[in-house]
Structure 1
Amino acid sequence: MTSTAERPRTTPDTLTDEQLARYRRDGFVHLPAVLSRRDAARYAKAALAARDRLDDFHSGAAFTQLLQLWRTDGRLRELTLDPGLAGIATRLAGIPLRLWHDQLLIKEPHNGAATEFHQDQPYWPHAGSRHALSAWVALVDVPAERGCLTFIPGSQHLEGLRAQDLTDHDDLMNLAPDLRHQPRVTVPLRAGDCTFHDSRLAHTATPNHTGDPRVAHVVIYVDAELRLAPEPAHPVTDPLGLRPGDRLPDEHFPRFDVMS
């Protein structure tokens, strides 16, 4: 019997046509073992150390969020800029990509709060973007009771919505009432597993009811050719003095040159 530690790794070369088709149909795909369990544990240790070391982060009822760790933490930079993850993202998107930002999302033990249904794209000042997607990498085991993600397949086709309130259970559903009746898929993950999801896919995360933190590292990939939109404001672009219509500068938003 194959142990969890011996699961076949998912790489850009092993990504199947069926997985590609599933992502493009549903707006998400679960990929096992994009990291080994040993590497996931190593990055989880670095992530918790960063949480304890840094004081520049958002901490709310639903989660603790640290942005741009690739710029300050050598070990997590290795994960954010991992060419294997970027290669998978590029195959799924089908266009050249660059980094938008990374974020560490920790649900503390017994936090009791869900991250309510939302889309990611409305939070970002992007103009002319052909595609954007997130790699949500589990650095610890994330069963349903520890705060895994639930998706509404096919909801990535909803465009033009404002940003949603992550604390309001009904906010997205009031904007798009048909979503209330759509099937939902909950995806528990093993440490080292990953889900990739489209930036407009509706998703939520359950509370963490366990005694251990849920630790996820998220890498957000965007169209390499997009330009800055006038709004909304965003902490990764606001300090840079960019103007609407500017391309994102490579030194702050690195390109991934992995197209075959």
Structure 2
Amino acid sequence: MARKLSDDEISSYNNAGVAFLPQVIDPEWIDRLNALVDEQLSNPGQWVNDANPGQTRDRMFTERYMWQHNPTIRDYVFNSGCAELAAQAMDSTTVRFYFDHLLVKEPETATPTPWHQDVPYWPFKGHKICSIWLALTETTVEESAMEFVRGSHAARTYYRPEVFAAREDHPNQAWTGAEGGEPVPDIEAHRDQFDIVGFDVKPGDAVIFSAWVLHGAQGNKSTDKRRAALSTRWLGDDAVWWPHPGSDPTVSQDDVNLRPGDYPADDQVFPQVWPRT
């Protein structure tokens, strides 16, 4: 099981919307997950987004929803202790799993991860929703480690989802363009006007962050280092099912035994991981 979060880590999550968790995962997971990265880059699955297939440079690659068919990801979800970390940070009596998200930027990938907020992309409402981004490689902010606008979760401002990289063939093109929500401010052009915090990471370090906090990442400026991470998404006590225009259609109303407004107690789709059932 996971270690206990310190009072400072919990305070950082509550006040900043993000907490840095050094060496929070057993090292055995890093080798297993890096092997999985190589496997998926060579043989991607159904929910892949690959901007430059087959290349070892200038390639931004993501894959999602592997947990139901990939034994390594499933083992990590249920046995790494991440759910207990999420429970502590969110002060939640239960934690359910939403989805896994593998994120890779090969060397010399200039494409940034644009500043955004997760909530508008996901079919849920609630404040106890978070992600745990696990570093699988040593990565600096200049090499695409994550950055956050500290405290931006507190206002509960709902930002309009945008298409990443403005690609017309991007897999989430159909999700976005929904009405409602404010446009994300141009944080990159006015960095001095925002309280931005970033974390250089080593394999096994993680950041846990609220689905409401604004975050992004630069391109990978390294000429020889891959940036790889695995993000897992977690649902706490106040999360409710809320499919809406602009949200991820991968899991839709047709896939769940829920009505809008229900707590996501569908164990086939959103299994309870903590406490263990």
> After the TM superposition, which residues 243-258 of structure 1 pair with which residues of structure 2 at under 5 Å, given as runs?
243-248=259-264, 249-258=266-275
**5+ long unaligned stretches in structure 1:** 1-9
Q: TM-score, normalised by structure 1?
A: 0.84
Correspondence for 2:228: 215
- Name the amino acid aligned to 1:236: T
Check conservation: 2:160, 2:184, Cα contact below 8 A: no
Residues 1:75 and 2:72 aligned together: yes
Deviation at 1:225, TM superposition (A): 5.4
Residues 1:18 and 2:8 aligned together: yes
Which of 124, 132, 136 matches 1:135?
132
Correspondence for 1:100: 98
Q: Name the CA distance, whole Å, in 2 between partners of 1:39 and 1:108.
A: 21
- Output one character per residue of 1:148-187: Cα deviation in whole Å (capped at 9) or x when no partner: 011111001232222134337xx51159x99861221111
Check conservation: 2:129, 2:236, Cα contact below 8 A: yes
Residues 1:144 and 2:141 aligned together: yes
Check conservation: 2:45, 2:63, Cα contact below 8 A: no
| 1:54/1:123 CA distance change after superposition, 3 Å | same
Residues 1:186 and 2:176 aligned together: no
| 1:50/1:155 CA distance change after superposition, 3 Å | same
Q: Name the CA distance, whole Å, in 2 between partners of 1:122 and 1:155.
A: 15
> After the TM superposition, which residues 168-187 of structure 1 pair with which residues of structure 2 at under 5 Å, given as runs?
172-173=184-185, 181-187=193-199
Deviation at 1:251, TM superposition (A): 1.1
Check conservation: 1:139, 1:191, Cα contact below 8 A: yes
Which of 19, 29, 40 matches 2:19?
29
Q: Which moved more, 1:187-196 or 1:141-150?
A: 141-150
Check conservation: 1:101, 1:236, Cα contact below 8 A: no
| 1:256/1:179 CA distance change after superposition, 3 Å | farther
Q: Name the CA distance, whole Å, in 2 between partners of 1:213 and 1:220.
A: 23
Check conservation: 2:111, 2:218, Cα contact below 8 A: yes
Check conservation: 1:90, 1:258, Cα contact below 8 A: no
Give structure 1 regions of 4+ aligned residues with deviation exceeding 6 angstroms: 177-180
Deviation at 1:101, TM superposition (A): 0.6
**5+ long unaligned stretches in structure 2:** 53-58, 167-182
- Name the amino acid aligned to 1:255: Q
Higher helix share: 1
Residues 1:234 and 2:248 aligned together: yes
- Determine what percentage of the aligned residue pairs are the same residue: 22
The residue matched to 2:142 in structure 1 has which SS?
A: helix
- Name the amino acid aligned to 1:118: H
Q: TM-score, normalised by structure 2?
A: 0.79
- Output one character per residue of 1:118-164: Cα deviation in whole Å (capped at 9) or x when no partner: 1111111113x231110000011112232101111100123222213
Count the aligned residue pairs: 245
| 1:145/1:161 CA distance change after superposition, 3 Å | closer
Deviation at 1:250, TM superposition (A): 1.0
- Name the amino acid aligned to 2:164: L
